[in-house]
A = this chain, B = another copy of it.
């Protein structure tokens, strides 16, 4: 992982479908060594994959909520059950284990406030073992970058 690798990574975070030729030109390499570096980054797991960035509202997901959750108990079974179930919920895009007052922070996307209430009541609450749920809604996004800082 040298400087060229980081250049490649940032270029592909900006535009993941950029052609290998353009990428090579951008980092001052010829295409074939450039491609080898990309493949290595992929195989070693540094690059985990590629995704389309999609406008959530245009897709029909008007609501983005950050949900802070505390569990009632922290025994193995409660924790594992919670995490397994969360993993299966399509509306939950992210789930982080947190320091501080809450155990987990979720990022949830749904189409409406009604759908959010439905999600909380019929999905989250039903899990059991949940101590508290605290929701904040995002009603605007100033910045949403996919590019890591340069180092």
Contact = CB atoms under 8 A, between A and B. Distances in A.
Interface string A38-70: 000000111111111111101111001010000
B94 A145 contact: yes
B6 A59 contact: yes
Contacts of A6: 59
A97 B66 CA distance: 12
Nearest to A84: B142
B48 A54 contact: yes
A148 B54 contact: yes
B90 A149 contact: yes
Interface of A: 1, 6, 9, 12-17, 44-56, 58-61, 64, 66, 83, 86-87, 90-102, 104-105, 109-111, 135-151
A9 B52 contact: yes
A51, A58, A86, A101 interface centre (most CB from chain B within 10 Å): A51
A61 B12 contact: no
Contacts of A140: 96-97
A83 to B, nearest CB: 5
A107 to B, nearest CB: 9
B94 A143 contact: yes
A47 B98 CA distance: 31
A51 B48 CA distance: 11
